[in-house]
Amino acid sequence: MSAAFRPALILWVVFLLACGAVVTRMTVTTDLAALLSGSAIPAQELLIAQLRDGVAARLLLIAIEGADPETLAEASGRLTEAIQTSNLFGYVHNGDPAKLKIERDVLMRHRYVLSSAVAADHFTAPALRASLERQMELLGSPAGAVTKALLPADPTGELAHILSELSMGDGPSVLHGVWFSRDGSRAQLIAETRAAGFDLDQQGSALTAVRKAFASLGLPESVRLLISGPGVFAVDSRATIERDSWRLSAVAGTLVVGLLLTIYRSVSPVLLSLLPVLSGLLAGVAAVQIVFGSVHGITLGFGATLIGEAVDYPAYLFTQVMTGERFQETLSRVWPTLRLAVLTTVFGALTMLLSSFTGLSQLGVLSAVGVSVAGLVTRWVLPALSPQPMKSSAREILPLNWTRPLADLRSASWVIWVLCFGAMGLLTVKHQSIWDHDLANLSPVSQSAKDLDAQLRAELGAPDVRYVVVVRGPDQEQVLTTSEHLALVLHRMTQDGLLTGYDLPSRYLPSRETQSRRLAALPDRAQLAAALTRARDGLSFRSGLFEPFLRDVEQARAGKLLESDDLRESAFSIKLRALLLSGKDGWIGLAPLRGVSSSTAVADRLAQSGLSGARFLDLKGEAERLVDGYRRESLRFTAAGFLAITAVLWWGLRNPGRVGRVLVPPVVAVIFVVTILTVAGERLSLFHLVSLLLVIGIGLNYALFFDRRFTDEAERRRNLLSLTVCILSTLSAFGALAFSHTAVLHAIGLTVSLGAFFSMMLSAALVQRRETIR
């Protein structure tokens, strides 16, 4: 070992130990929302917050199928009881009326502040008479038993009125006393986890608890458990991403190691070649953890791409070593070009650091740090560990003159340019369909899982979460007051057929002003008793029957106002926490809308109402605008990255002609790749953009080495061997990634594989120096 390299080796070991300490304590996240940053647009901030920690993110939709309705109903009850014993769930319900006692008690206890029918004239003798006559009609109906039980305490029917207001369109069907699908094939229930939606460990524990509880029921094998919801998607996505990340990294690593063993015929250079890769990967992951506090699973999967990029650097050296040549001598010939290749990749990745899209920023940190460290380890560590002088063990097992026919294309380069401009014309025509705007397509969730979720939500009568009116205010009271005014506007829209239903936080927690007004409308006991006596005159109600009614009204007059904590143990708490949120700039109320026939008409009607603090939102549209905003930003940073790469090339080559010559192949390769993906029907996401920037970096490596001048034919053949090894290792690493079940990793693998192939072919055809071939 040369003394000059000993300090570098010591620093490298210390650096790896420090990075290892960070990586062993890293936090891995896999939820989609973790890739998103806080947007400057309030609507998008709300979207991201709900994706991460909204009540909806904690709900599990559960169904049991595969048996007769009686068996399924019994299984539903037993499963509900088993799940409730777990401390992992705050609420579990299957529609069993016997289990709604808490909800009934809450509504009965607070009915006079919840009912919109309560007013000064509601308790006059004529009004009470009408209520009693209505109750008499109900006593003779199928609902007579329920009416008889409630009549003494609630002759004015406040409970029924409240329930009718809380009803949001078609709810789940009920069979044998529990919720069922409309065709009677599935018993259904819902469960809310105590853990936040982004706490995937606890979400996973909750899912395991449900599955264990189901298995303990001892049901026939034909009976199946179905579970859906954001928690299921998040946990399954984590498993898919982690499985893909490790499996594909292992496949890529195996392919690359096998290739290097075939080329070098020796274990030593193969092991040395892996040092820059592993060092760069370790440093890149540690840097992401330090900068962001966590590492996304997709970022780890992207780390596999460093195998294909960083393994090129020692390959450019080892394949060009002449027998008996000292490593420093090889470095002196190759390092100027290799340094430029490293710098162009690093500067291209640095622009991603500026992105407000956390996913791109993480990839930028991983790439910039990983490639930099891999380049430095190649330059300073490998010379310290390589034998001096080195023995060239690389052999030419491939037809290394395969680029000669491509070089002949230079005389017919017009063919390439015709194809290039034709591709650009096609992209211009199809520019509307190039980009993927759907945020959900970044998720590895299967279409069948999405379909199941949609079925369960529809059968449970869940509201359409796409359209919502957002109410903002400085405090909870202001939001609830605006929500009450909004109810009048939405009611008129419902009557006009613009929507079929809606929900509001003020239905579950009226404003204090409204509650106080309703309580003030309650008469004192003497007035109410006198009015009630006149109202029941001539009716068949016995004296003293309505004593509970008189008592409850009197207690309500003296009681306290309803608070959110009073709903805590009931299902209404889930509703209220989903609809009434505390934000960093005040409070937010949500009014989800059902059956919107014209979003434009609803938005216009809301604007015409003059209701301040209320805004109509299309959450799917906001998600698309969020993605579009990130894409436009990414395009700007991609352009900035290209300019940075051009500046580095100008600094390194100091020749405008050479700069243009080496830039052409990767740029044309990008055009070809985008065209092929578009024709194949694959729309481009943000991660395709990252991949295209990576294609430019890899393609420049090939072009730069094709652009070198050689002293003899032997040196040219060694250079071609190194390029052959590099393209094969790149295709091995990124080709493996293309088979990923994770959409993001598949996009990266497919894009870079195609881009690397075209870059190599175009570099050989357009950059390769003719005088070194003949």
* 3-state helix/strand/coil string of 716-729: HHHHHHHHHHHHHH
Helical axes 358-376 vs 686-706, angle rounded to 10°: 20
Alpha-carbon distances of 740 from 233, 244, 364, 748, rounded to whole Å: 17, 6, 21, 10
Q: For tokens 């991460």, what's the residue?
A: 52
Instruction: Work out the number of other CB atoms within 10 angstroms of the CB of residue 67.
Output: 18
Q: CA angle 192-217-99, nearest 5°?
A: 45
pLDDT at position 307: 59
pLDDT at position 402: 56
Cα(590)–Cα(42) distance, rounded to whole angstroms?
Answer: 13
In a domain, 472, yes or no: no
In a domain, 732, yes or no: yes
In a domain, 337, yes or no: yes
Q: Which two tokens stand for residue 135?
A: 């109750």
β partners of residue 502? 593
pLDDT at position 211: 93
Nearest CA among 325, 212, 102, 513 for reference residue 317 = 325
In a domain, 75, yes or no: no
CB 541 within 8 A of CB 138: no
pLDDT at position 454: 81
Nearest CA among 293, 306, 250, 280 for reference residue 28 = 293
- Number of structural domains, the chain? 1
* pTM for the full predicted model: 0.73
Composition of the chain by helix, strand, coil, percent to 5: 65, 10, 25
Cα(207)–Cα(452) distance, rounded to whole angstroms?
Answer: 17
Cα(39)–Cα(21) distance, rounded to whole angstroms?
Answer: 33
pLDDT at position 34: 58
Q: Which two tokens stand for residue 371?
A: 């490639």
pLDDT at position 766: 87
Cα(366)–Cα(204) distance, rounded to whole angstroms?
Answer: 28
φ/ψ of residue 580, rounded to 5: -125, 115
Cα(331)–Cα(367) distance, rounded to whole angstroms?
Answer: 24
- Residue 614 three-state SS: strand
pLDDT at position 46: 62
What are the mean pLDDT values of the chain's consecutive 10-residue runs (774 residues total)? 73 94 86 55 58 67 93 92 85 78 88 92 93 88 82 91 71 82 90 76 88 92 90 80 77 83 84 90 93 81 65 83 76 88 86 76 88 92 75 52 58 83 92 77 74 81 72 94 94 92 91 95 93 89 90 92 88 83 84 88 92 86 77 82 90 91 95 94 83 87 87 79 85 84 81 93 81 47
- Residue 471 three-state SS: strand
Q: What range defines the domain where residue 288 resides? A: 5-30+234-432+655-767
β-bridge pairing 28-29 and 586-594: unpaired
Q: For tokens 């120096």, what's the residue?
A: 769
Q: 24 exposed, middle or buried (CB, 10 Å; 0-12, 13-18, 19+)?
A: exposed
Nearest CA among 64, 314, 78 for reference residue 188 = 64
In a domain, 353, yes or no: yes
Residues 6+ apart with CB under 8 A from 460: 61, 171, 172, 179, 188, 190
DSSP 435: B
CB 79 within 8 A of CB 73: no
β partners of residue 590? 470
CB 252 within 8 A of CB 733: yes
φ/ψ of residue 538, rounded to 5: 85, -5
In a domain, 319, yes or no: yes
Q: Which CATH number belongs to the domain containing residue 759 in this structure? A: 1.20.1640.10
Cα(533)–Cα(514) distance, rounded to whole angstroms?
Answer: 29
In a domain, 368, yes or no: yes
In a domain, 229, yes or no: no
